[in-house]
Amino acid sequence: MLTMYSTPWCGYCHRLKSQFDREGIAYEVIDIEQDPASAEYVMSVNGGNQTVPTIKFPDGSAMTNPSITQVKKHLAEIGG
């Protein structure tokens, strides 16, 4: 399952969530404003920035603000 690091006010996050729902891609959402450890993770993969959406894949890899096409391609590559 994917993990989406998000904030309630992030328009890009809302769009990607609706695309995941439409494509039937399972995901968990973590609000980085409510979870300091998650905010630290997001900063660790984004050069110190709290950039969302950040997606963590089952293999541990991450993408920042990806398109649904990029997510689907990466899932196919890792066998997810």
Is 36 buried (19+), middle (13-18) or exposed (0-12) by CB count in 10 A? Answer: exposed
pTM for the whole structure: 0.94
pLDDT digits (tens, 9 = 90+) for 12-67: 999 999 999 999 999 999 999 999 999 999 999 999 999 999 999 999 999 999 99
d(CA 66, CA 63): 6
Max CA distance (Å), the chain = 32
Residue 23 is part of which domain span? Answer: 2-78
Q: Would you say 30 and 1 are in contact if contact means Cβ atoms under 8 Å apart?
A: no
Q: Would you say 19 and 44 are in contact if contact means Cβ atoms under 8 Å apart?
A: no
* CATH code for the domain in which residue 28 is found: 3.40.30.10
State the pLDDT confidence band at 79, using cuts at 50, 70 and 90.
confident
What is the domain count for the chain? 1
Match 């399972």 to its residue by tokens. 26
